[in-house]
Structure 1
Amino acid sequence: MTARDATGAEADAARIPGPRSLRPLGGVLTAMALSLTGTRISLVALPWFVLVTTGSATRTGLVVFCEMAPYVLVKALTGPVVDRTGPRAVSWTADLASATAAALVPLLHVLHLLAFPVLLFLVAVIGAARGPGDLAKEVMVPEAAERGRVPLERATGLSGVIERLASTVGPATGGALVALVGPMTGLVVNAGCLVLGSVVIALLLPRGVGRAAEEAPPRADGEAEPGYWRRFGEGFTFLRGEPLLLTVIVMVGITNLLDAAIGSVLIPVWARESGNGPAAIGLMGSAMGAAAVAGSLIAAAVASRLRRRTVVLAGFLLAGAPRFLVLASGAPLGVVLAVFAVSGFGAGFINPVLGAVLFERVPRRMLGRVNALGDSLAWAGIPLGGLLAGAAVAATGLAPVLIACATAYFLTTNLAGLRPEWREMDRTRRTDRAGARKAVT
């Protein structure tokens, strides 16, 4: 029996009965929008605060590391908890914890109690709480799509639109806040967004949405329900049997490391050295985010009719190396914004396709632990991105690091796309459609 035969999400879970309702999907997407927008604001405000107060690119990278390392680690370990407890409860409690830690940063700064070690501890708490919160909302997307009778690729496309909108509004808002009233205000806004997202999940979603995933039927011999570590191991066992998912995860892990490097360190350093300042960071993020929204909207509408492998490879070709190269070239801000817009448009097509592939191949009862492991492996390089970029810039300067990152991005995405298992992206969808036609007839 193949992994797809045994674990296809379409065949694994029965359709949710009852009338069609878009309220669950709308609620989940709203909570995503709030938490992601707050996070994007913080991603501009916090690195800029550290850079201008310490003057150190290395310390800026260290702060990013201390947030993202707990994010990745805790997210990986939370998967069985999400499956057992239910994503709804995990989402709102984790968001509240992250909001509390985020609010303490400006409070302690005002009281002159924010020593650098204290800041590192608080951003670690923010990351550790944010990981489970993000995972839980992602896990609720397939269920919300089923309740609304929305095709999976369209639902993942809409979640991609939300992510890209947050990447548009967040950096613009963050840059404006930093320029006008200082970076600490951005952290206050981040905390408020997380609180509102928690309220949406806890109080506004319909009852019954986001409950614990149903485990497989118990064995006839009365074997006890699997414990935490057995559930955790099941996720690894599943991923080992999915070469396509493993290849995608490794590739995305490398590109995420490079994206973290440019977003958290290389762009702020470029903005300072070029004299464009924090407002340029917001403009660049907004240009890329707005174009990515357009790309995600188109992907949500037409991705089901396109060859997935071609879409993903073309998206990475546009989204990767050009951003690094234009910064290294010393081009004026207008050219930089144009290149970032083109890159954003390509990036908008990537996540809807990869998200649909994941949800199709993973059974609902294991979605939390498998998604947690996959995300954590894909995000494992993010904590190192800022740290390595900061050290490399201090050692060699900005331009050589940008060129090296562009080369690594191009080779990683193109070499991964040549692997034979990537053909399964399109084969899986053809199998699903054939099954759907057979069911109808």
Structure 2
Amino acid sequence: MSPRARYLALLGADIGSTLGSQISLVAIPWLVLTTTGSAADMGLVAATEMIPYLLSSMLLTPVADRLGLRTSSVLCDLGSALAVGCIAAFHQGGLALLLVLVALAGALRGVGDRVKHVLLRPAGQAAGYSAIRMTSTYEGLSRLAALLGAPLGGLLIAGFGARGAVWLDAASFAGCAVVVAVVVRAAQAGTATRQAPAEPYLTALRGGFRYLREDRTLARMVRVVFALNVFATAATAVFIPVWARDVLHSPQGLGLALGAYAGGALGGTLLFTLLADRLPQYPVFVIGGLVSCLPRLLVLALSDNLLVVVAVNVLAGLGIASVNPILGAALYQRVPDALQTRVIGLCGTVCFTGVPIGALAAGWAVSRLGLHTALLAAVLVCVAVLAGPLAAQRRARLDLSVSRA
């Protein structure tokens, strides 16, 4: 098998795992609803997976380094297959059992996703791909998997029933484990598959925190992505729905605005993949962040025209397309091999924490200040958060292409 074929197989396994996770977000809650008839139980099961996912992404990565990344990836995917299979087999065993199994599946996916992300870098380098090309391709395929996962889950439920869809999801994780076991070899994937030097767990965990704290460029970029997740979730979960209800008086406007943002992000990712190697990374990162949130918030405060809002959401989607790939490339380029699993896991957890904070903060602001004032306040905070990193680029002439490793 050629290096390019190995890389594509590993990338396919990673995206397949992502697609399986998206399907399970639909199929498992639906299985609970059809089994118990309780919407409250359905919501509880749907929410239970996320906290273990985030915690394991940060806290279990030293264990993955100790075991070796290839071994950890295979074990996590096999464990996910077993946990999801048990959900299908024992879904009538009571809510407590379901919650334990869903939490276990979430924890395994959290560390498994981080491990496969690290394994992609040496495989892509062996195939001749640059870091930014790898991360932009990965981002585009991940967005596509996220868009297709929910409707595919619905189709699988319609075709095979909720239990059958969950069994298929379990089989997809088993398939990913087989691909990684066959494709990834220590001699081919470089140092990323070797076991980390023996060191106490807390020492290993602190090493990831310490590196991120000392690398000011990465720390600044992580703060920016955290803030962008806050603003994006605020817009998607609160601001745009309230605007569609109070200003437009049309639920159709909600779907169009959110669909325009998703479509712009997917199209922007494809465009960025083509141009990534020729663009200055850090300025594009910050400018893309500004474009992704500032106009999107401002247009809701100043306009009642749906076409204008849709157009601005397409532009915002184009802007966000560059952000995650550039952060991913910076992590590949700047973090030493021995720390990549821990630092990437930590960054992912910190960035994703902005999602619930954005929803809560926006809901509180709209209820206390009203939609218009809350939007203007969000615009001011957005400018304050993102102006600093842009100014830092001008002062320090930061170059993300230079590795610290």
Q: Same fold (TM over 0.5)?
A: yes
Question: What's the counterpart of residue 181 of structure 2?
Answer: 202
Q: Which residue of 1 aligns with 2:134?
A: 155
Q: 2:66 aligns with which of 75, 84, 90?
A: 84
Q: Could you tell me which amino acid in structure 1 is paired with residue 9 of structure 2?
A: G
State the secondary structure of the residue aligned to 1:251. helix
Q: Is 1:242 the counterpart of 2:215 in the alignment?
A: yes
For residue 8 of structure 2, what is the aligned residue in structure 1?
26
Q: Following the alignment from structure 2 to structure 1, what is the Cα–Cα distance between the partners of residues 300 and 106?
A: 29
Greater RCO (CA < 8 Å, at least 6 residues apart): 1
Q: Distance in 1 between matches of 2:158 and 2:297?
A: 24
1:318-357 map, 5 Å: 318-320=291-293, 340-357=313-330
- Give 1:337 deviation, angstroms: 6.4
Q: For residue 119 of structure 2, what is the aligned residue in structure 1? A: 140
Q: Is the 8 A contact 1:41 1:174 kept in 2?
A: yes
Q: Displacement of 1:69 after TM fit?
A: 1.8
Change (3 A) 1:270 1:213: farther
Match of 2:344 in 1: 371
Is the 1:20–1:147 Cα contact (8 Å) retained in structure 2? no
Contact 2:84 2:169 in 1 (8 A): yes
* Matches for 1:10-25 after TM superposition, within 5 Å: 21-25=3-7
User: d(CA) in 2 for partners of 1:415 and 1:49?
Assistant: 46
Segment of structure 1 superposing worse, 319-328 or 85-94: 319-328
Long gaps (5+) in structure 1: 1-18, 217-224, 436-441
| Equivalent residue number for residue 414 of structure 1 | 386
Q: Structure 1 counterpart of 2:386, which letter?
A: N
Write the distance in 2 (CA, Å) between the matches of 1:178 and 1:265: 29
Match of 2:279 in 1: 306
Identity fraction in percent: 32
Q: Deviations over 1:152-211 (max 9, x none)?
A: 221222212221221332244346667998877765554343333222212344564556
Q: Report how far residue 106 of structure 1 moved.
A: 5.3
In structure 2, distance between residues paired with 1:390 and 1:258: 9
Q: Distance in 1 between matches of 2:87 and 2:348?
A: 27
CA distance in 1, matches of 2:369, 2:87: 31
| Residue 240 of structure 1, CA deviation | 2.1
Change (3 A) 1:59 1:154: same
Residue identity opposite 2:193 in structure 1: A
* Unmatched segments (≥5 aa) in structure 2: none
1:417–1:178 Cα change, 3 Å: farther
361-370 vs 390-399, which moves further: 390-399
CA distance in 2, matches of 1:271, 1:181: 36
Q: Partner residue of 1:438?
A: none
| Equivalent residue, structure 2, for 1:317 | 290
Q: Tell whether the 8 Å contact from 1:88 to 1:209 is kept in structure 2 after alignment.
A: no
CA–CA distance in 2 between the matches of 1:39 and 1:176?
15
Q: Distance in 2 between matches of 1:330 and 1:184?
A: 45
| Partners of 1:37 and 1:167 within 8 A in 2 | yes
Q: Which moved more, 1:284-293 or 1:68-77?
A: 284-293
* Equivalent-residue separation in structure 2 for 1:107 and 1:270 (angstroms): 44
1:173 aligns with 2:152: yes
Q: Within 2, Cα distance between the matches of 1:41 and 1:316?
A: 29
For residues 239 and 110 of structure 2, the distance between their equivalents in structure 1, rounded to whole angstroms, comes to: 24
CA contact (8 A) 2:286 2:390 kept: no
AA in 2 matched with 1:163: S
Alpha carbons 1:96, 1:198 under 8 Å: kept: yes
Matched-pair contact (CA < 8 Å) for 1:88–1:202: yes
1:289–1:193 distance in 2 versus 1, CA, 3 Å: farther
Choose from 335, 341, 346 the match for 1:362.
Answer: 335
Counterpart position of 2:226: 253
User: Structure 2 CA distance, aligned partners of 1:134 and 1:68?
Assistant: 13
Q: Which residue of 2 aligns with 1:101?
A: 83
Contact 1:321 1:407 in 2 (8 A): yes
Which structure carries more helix by proportion? 2
Could you report, residue by residue, the CA deviation over 1:287-338 in whole angstroms, capped at 9, with x for unpaired residues? Answer: 6555434322332332232222331223223433566788898876x88766
Matched residues in 1 for 2:158 and 2:285: separation? 36
Q: CA deviation at 1:236?
A: 2.2
Query: Are the counterparts in 2 of residues 284 and 340 from structure 1 also a CA contact under 8 Å?
Result: yes
AA at the equivalent of 2:81:
A
Indicate the larger mover: 201-210 or 369-378: 201-210
Counterpart CA distance in 1 for 2:33 and 2:294 is 25
Return the offset for 1:143: 0.7
Q: Bigger CA drift: 158-167 or 42-51? A: 42-51
| Corresponding pairs, count | 396
Q: Which residue of structure 2 lines up, in the alignment, with residue 222 of structure 1?
A: none
Residues 157 and 164 in structure 2, CA contact (< 8 A), matched pair in contact too: yes
Which of these residues, 182, 203, 212, is aligned with residue 193 of structure 2? 212
Deviation at 1:245, TM superposition (A): 1.1
How far apart, CA to CA, are the structure 1 residues paired with 2:322 and 2:379? 22
* Of 161, 164, 170, the match for 2:143: 164
Is 1:153–1:353's contact at 8 Å kept on the other side of the alignment?
yes
The partner residue of 1:131 within 99, 110, 120 is 110
What displacement does 1:88 show?
1.6
Distance 1:215 1:70, change over 3 A: closer
Q: What is the root-mean-square deviation in Å for CA atoms of aligned residues?
A: 4.7
What SS is found at the alignment partner of 2:128? coil
The alpha-carbon distance between structure 1 residues 313 and 213, as it changes in their structure 2 partners (threshold 3 A), is: same
